[in-house]
Structure 1
Amino acid sequence: MKKAENIIVGISIGDLNGIGGEIVLKTFEDNRILDFCTPIIFASSKTIGFLKTHFKSTISLNNIKNIEQLAHGKVNVLNCWNEHVEIQFGKEDVKIGEFAIKSLQAATKALKNNAIDVLVTAPINKHNIQSDVFNFPGHTDYLAKELEGESLMFMVNDTLRVGLLTDHVPVKDIVEHISEELIIKKIETVYKSLEKDFKIRKPKIAVLGINPHTGDNGVIGSEDDDVLRPTLEKIKNEGKLVYGPYAADSFFGSNNYKNFDAIIAAYHDQGLIPFKTLSFGQGVNYTAGLNKVRTSPDHGTAYEIAGKGLADENSFKEAMFTAIKIFNNRFDYEQLTSNPLKKAPKKM
């Protein structure tokens, strides 16, 4: 059994011209967080040293060449490159995108090899990371390929959890992607995550409609009647507490979301606009359904304030604590399911 402070949190540094470095450093200004984990930042000592000087950070860093050299009770920096990095805050730069991918790839490899326990990713720029060797819309799609399981973008905080049927899909293509198979798969992923990662027995899930007013009996589209409703009925008949489809325009404003353990939206903005409106700065992007735990803050690179010392680190901090909590919940779940008569020990 791992002690809480020995849970190793890997951190990919994200876009160095954005606010990622700042929010990572600000998070560890409060060294009490080291009572809950041992962090490793995947970057380089020179790069993090520059950021530390720029932001006048007072944290103590332990620079290492391999994970075996990590020190518990300290913020570790694992060197992933030796090159000089020309940081120009607020500027989109393909070279900076290459360093973001180097960090992500090294951290993901460590996660796959169980050298770290969880991964927390700082924001990337989805445009400047594209190359012949990296051709993914973002973190979620890359990790879905590298790790085992069925990935799902799950936006979470203490009182609200929103999953997506489709994530980084152009609006014009959404309907083509939604099928009975996809709906069943995504709802199953959410259901298992609620049980395993959030310790919710018999989860209650709401599903939002695809079209405005869930199609108005076919007047505004037939997909809700032809695909979504029949599939939800099939899932209900299996004994799962799944309800909907609900008209998305009034669902959150009426506070109906408070009656459910999770909400599944049909597409990206349908779910993320209300989620970020209700919890911006406190929300966490969790990649559910994989065999490893990965979280990130609920915001992007924020070039407009990068380098100015104005970034709020709370979402990144929440992402760290959420990753640790899910890691512990999975430990308890595995203990209980492997031996239901044995009470799992506490680790935090």
Structure 2
Amino acid sequence: MNQRKNKPVIGISIGDINGISAEVTIKALLDNRLQRLITPVIYAHGKAMTFYRKQLELEDFNFMQIKSIYEVHHRKINLINVVEESPEVIPGVETQEAGKMALAALEHAITDLKSEKLDALVTAPLNKNNINSPEKKFVGHTEFLTEAFEVKESLMFLVAEDIRVGLVTGHIPVSQVAQRVNADNIRKKLQLMLDSLQNDFGINKPKVAVLGLNPHAGEDGLLGDEEEKIIKPVVAEFKDKGHLVFGPYPADGFFGMLHHKKFDGVLAMYHDQGLIPFKTLAFETGVNFTAGLPIVRTSPDHGTAYNIAGKNIADEGSMRAAIMEAYDIVRSRRGWEEEDEG
């Protein structure tokens, strides 16, 4: 087994340089345990990272600039400049220049993932306002990567030590949620979750809870009939195939009584139904993982946090967890591949 297989090459797309992305990246990579386990490649600009190293007085952070992924050094923190000219760094300020750099970092990393020179990608937070343009619509990392790798379906999967929450619908208006909560979508997302729990998290026989859409899971049709007509039949279908799938459960009582601890995964119907309890319970250690892609992608579960950018108070816990989760999933997938090959 060569050096790369022992030490996965993990890319980090820097996101918005005027937010806390650079700070949490630097602080996470200063953890010597990470440097022993992975070979990091930051997609950013050297001058932007140097700005934060000085601004935050984190002088122990050192990196080696390389021209391409083919020059990666396994004993260093590597950095690839994704734009020619150094962008102006203005902590806490939204600029178009920072948005262009965030997109360039992501696109460069995707190219290296497709060349199979990266084992995983960790995406640092960006701003959807300044990354969007008339030519390129950006709804979110999950959707962008799903399109880039030409897969039909992916799953936004928020994971932490004792809670994993996937979403049937993601970044769409609430007014469109009910029409997207149909049997076909639930079936696809539930299968993606089961496959991911097995292949990415090494759980042989995963136990999954499915939440209802309506208050009190519809109250037997009194508050809505999606549970009776759509969700329950899909749950029964998976049970008939031998899967440990249960529900639908009322979301408020389910999380309020900490029932998520009894399950390996929870499938929520829409964004806030799943992410509000997840971030309440695991904000500093939560990780956003995109299941269903041919590559491994994770991200911290927070945003750009302009209000604290450049002040040396951002917590790097979620970024560190995202890097470690990427490492663990790479290892898990390799284990399954080796087993499948006999």
Query: 1:96 offset after TM fit, Å?
Result: 1.0
Could you say which residue in structure 1 is the equivalent of 2:317? 314
Q: CA deviation at 1:136?
A: 2.3
**TM-score, normalised relative to structure 1:** 0.95
> Which of 191, 210, 213 does residue 213 from structure 2 map onto?
210
Contact 2:45 2:86 in 1 (8 A): no
Superposition deviation, residue 148 in structure 1: 4.8
Deviations 1:48-74 (A, max 9, x none): 222222222221210111112221111
Q: C-alpha displacement at 1:80, in angstroms?
A: 1.1
1:153 Cα deviation from its structure 2 partner: 0.6
Instruction: Report if the CA contact (8 A) 1:15-1:125 is conserved.
Output: yes
Letter aligned with residue 103 of structure 1: A
> 2:29: which partner in 1?
28
Secondary structure in structure 2 of the residue aligned to 1:10: strand
Q: CA RMSD in A?
A: 1.2
Counterparts of 2:76 and 2:112, CA distance in 1: 19
User: How far does the alpha carbon of each residue in 1:262-286 deviate from its partner, in whole angstroms, 9 at most, with x for none?
Assistant: 0000001110111111111111000
Name the SS of the counterpart of 2:139 in structure 1. Answer: coil
Partner of 1:93: 95
Structure 1: distance between partners of 2:225 and 2:85: 55
**Taking structure 1 as reference, are residues 33 and 106 closer, same or farther at Cα in structure 2, changes over 3 Å only?**
same
Say yes or no: does 1:299 pair with 2:302.
yes
Gaps of 5+ in 1: 340-348
2:189 corresponds to 1:186: yes
> d(CA) in 2 for partners of 1:93 and 1:183?
38
Aligned pairs, number:
339
Letter in structure 1 aligned against 2:76: K
Runs of 4+ in 1 over 4 A off after TM superposition: 2-5
1:345 corresponding residue in structure 2: none
SS at match of 2:154: strand
2-structure distance, mates of 1:317, 1:5: 19
Q: Indicate the residue corresponding to 1:342 in structure 2.
A: none
Counterpart check, 1:165 vs 2:165: no
Q: Distance in 2 between matches of 1:325 and 1:254?
A: 29
Q: What residue identity is the alignment partner of 1:28?
A: L
Residue identity matched to 1:106: H
When normalised by structure 2's length, the TM-score is: 0.96
Superposed, which structure 2 residues align to 1:146-165 within 5 Å?
A: 146-149=148-151, 150-165=153-168
In the TM superposition, what are the counterparts of 1:10-89 in structure 2 within 5 Å?
A: 10-57=11-58, 58-89=60-91
Tell me, in whole angstroms, the C-alpha distance in 2 between the residues paired with 1:202 and 1:32: 31
* Counterpart-to-counterpart distance in 2, 1:218 and 1:141: 33
- Distance in 1 between residues matched to 2:239 and 2:272, nearest whole Å: 26
Distance 2:67 2:315 in 1: 30
State, as a whole percentage, how many aligned pairs show the same letter: 45
